[in-house]
Structure 1
Amino acid sequence: MSTPNVFEGEVAFDVPSAGKPCKTWYKVVGTIRTNRPLVALHGGPGIPHDYLEVLSGLASTYDIPVIFYDQIGNGLSTHLPEKNGDITFWGDKLWLDELDNLLVHLGIQDDYALIGHSWGGMLGARHAALQPKGLKQLIIADAPADMHDWVAAQNELKTRLPQDVQDLITKHENARTWEHKEYQESNLIFSKQFLCRLEKWPDMMLKSMGWLEKDPTVYHTVNGPSEFNITGPLKDWTVVPDLPKIKASTLLLNGRYDEAQDSVMVPFFKYIPMVKWVTFAESAHMPHLEETERYLQVVGSFLKYE
């Protein structure tokens, strides 16, 4: 097992409505010219790439170059807290344009694969439905095709919690007291069951989630205060009508205890022409962290041999 090369950089991203220069931070693990590179789209929206860095194992084990980046408003890329609450600024087109800009900058726009986790899977599906000529393989991990299905799934999962926890969540949702300690603690109980079931959450995951406290602009504007209460423009988001347009060979991934229950992923399986689906039996929303070895085997085999 060789140690892959690692390169970090920034690319200018022209966003006239931002009112200031913007840049996208990225990291390449491996050598782009050896094999088809895999671009990783992180979730949230608002949780940067760090929690996905276990995917670097694809570079050392399968010689698949992996490209991580922080979407604008996140992590090491340009932050725009002055755009908090501006739903006309934050949207699919912004991040689709940013992805295209990065692909061209790296010179891989004619041959690449994508893996998108959660919100990243939604963005990846939207990108793929535009039929970019260079996208050869798509992995949609733990993501909904329609946000109404997502909210329904979260509310069903909530019923599996102890009744007193359910009552506290409902109480603070109704009172809109989302910052209350009781509400935060109740959400953590939910997350321990359906976000990540590891007894100790990995540092890379905590690092990513820590950005929500540093700068909640993107998550609070686009999503809302919680997974149960989608108040931003994502509340009506759907890619279902466009799924038949996806031409790339597609792999779906989720966990048995996932926030992305089977019900939210069924439309991908039903409407994408070339698709297969793998569910991780011991995982919630982070199977890449909860069952890392098998996850890398499944993803590596798909990218290398299909």
Structure 2
Amino acid sequence: MPKLEPYLEGDLDFTVPSAGKPCKTHYWVFGDPKSSKPGVRPLIGLHGGPGFTHDYISNISHLTQLFGIPVVLYDQLGGGKSTHLAEKNGDTSFWAIGLFIEELENLLKGLGIEEFDLFGHSWGSIVISSFAIRKPKGLKKIVLASGLASMSDWIESGKELKKLLSEEAQDILKKHEEAGTTDSEEYQGATMEFYKRFACRLGPWPEDLLSSFGSMMQDPTVYHTINGPNEFLVIGPLKDHDITSELHKIEATTLITNGKYDEAQDKVVLPFFLNIPKVKWVQFAESSHVAFLEEEDRYLKVLGEFLLDI
């Protein structure tokens, strides 16, 4: 399906006093977010990472063509076309989940959006679930795509999935993790074996995914500070994230999705299903971590029908 040209694109001022300089959030709007059709609300998409860009989730903008749902995408602070803050590398007090919740709230206010739905992939699901437990006014539905409530579940899942890699890859990973040389080319090569099995099983990877991945590699400030070197070696403050005990506070109707071969294995997304009051779970049998790319047609159908109560 050809890419849809945005209805609106721009920069939104985002005041962050501790940043030490003016900040902006770059956004793209597909369709008219002021649509007055009954039951149709704008969907705001939050990409993963942390520190990726919107590019690899941009195909959810097809919901505008397929279902008439306006879609808002943006690059979170520190990535893509939004303000970069490489000088904040390693500053764990600055790069906190609350910062990204404030950015989302600023975006909604700046675009004048009062009723809305949220889509969050991976890290994006952490932001929107942490936002949703606050019971924000105007939030109706959320989509937690390959997300997690507790990072300890994610880390444990990663350890189990690593055991499925080739012996050679496992040995390389172990050697460099013990030596603290996770920035070596050999280590990065072994990491890609994990990604090609549990992050995206398509070959070759779609250009939009490569773009987001490449952007993060060029400026890994956010990813390395919050998370760590990669998806299965989480040593940043995100390692302590756990909102399982607060999930019952989420009032928004929720859709959980993951893939059969996802690094977000069933036990990772299960706390969402067990604790959120109004919830539905759909798994994609041919997908890993980016089911919206790996099974695009089915995913968009599931997503659109959920958002419109079809």
The TM-score range, normalised by the shorter chain, is: over 0.9
- With 57-66 and 159-168 compared, the bigger mean Cα shift is at 159-168
SS in 2 for 1:20: coil
Match of 1:170 among 169, 174, 182: 174
Q: Cα offset for 1:174?
A: 0.8
Residue number in structure 1 paired with 2:75 = 70
Q: Cα offset for 1:5?
A: 5.1
Q: Cα offset for 1:230?
A: 1.2
Q: Cα offset for 1:79?
A: 0.5
Match of 1:251 among 246, 252, 255: 255
1:114-161 deviations in whole A, cap 9, x for unaligned?
A: 000000011110011010011000000001110010000011001111
Residue number in structure 2 paired with 1:14 = 15
CA contact (8 A) 1:4 1:30 kept: no
Q: Give the gaps of 5 or more residues in structure 2.
A: none
Residue number in structure 1 paired with 2:50 = 45
CA contact (8 A) 1:4 1:31 kept: no
Q: What is the rounded CA distance, in whole Å, between the counterparts of 2:182 and 2:6 in structure 1?
A: 43
2:305 is aligned with 1:301: yes
Residue number in structure 2 paired with 1:185 = 189
1:60-95 deviations in whole A, cap 9, x for unaligned?
A: 010000000011111110000000000010001111
Residue number in structure 1 paired with 2:105 = 100
Structure 2 matches for 1:222-233, cutoff 5 A?
A: 222-233=226-237
Match of 2:91 among 86, 91, 98: 86
Q: Cα offset for 1:24?
A: 0.5
Instruction: Give the count of matched residue pairs.
Output: 305
CA contact (8 A) 1:45 1:119 kept: yes
Q: Give the gaps of 5 or more residues in structure 1.
A: none
CA contact (8 A) 1:4 1:59 kept: no
1:23-68 deviations in whole A, cap 9, x for unaligned?
A: 1100001111223000000100011100001111100010000000
Q: What is the rounded CA distance, in whole Å, between the counterparts of 1:90 and 1:131 in structure 2?
A: 23
Q: What is the rounded CA distance, in whole Å, between the counterparts of 2:52 and 2:34 in structure 1?
A: 29
SS in 1 for 2:73: strand
CA contact (8 A) 2:79 2:216 kept: no
SS in 1 for 2:224: helix
Structure 2 matches for 1:278-297, cutoff 5 A?
A: 278-297=282-301
Q: Please give the TM-score of this superposition, normalised by the length of structure 2.
A: 0.96
Aligned-residue sequence identity (percent) comes to 51
CA contact (8 A) 1:4 1:60 kept: no
4+ residue runs over 4 A deviation: 1-5
2:118 is aligned with 1:117: no
Residue number in structure 1 paired with 2:267 = 263
Q: Cα offset for 1:6?
A: 2.3
After superposition, the CA RMSD in angstroms is: 1.3
Q: Please give the TM-score of this superposition, normalised by the length of structure 1.
A: 0.97
Q: What is the rounded CA distance, in whole Å, between the counterparts of 1:213 and 1:302 in structure 2?
A: 34
Q: What is the rounded CA distance, in whole Å, between the counterparts of 2:234 and 2:284 in structure 1?
A: 27
Match of 2:158 among 127, 148, 154: 154
Letter in 1 for 2:303: V
Residue number in structure 2 paired with 1:31 = 32
Residue number in structure 1 paired with 2:207 = 203
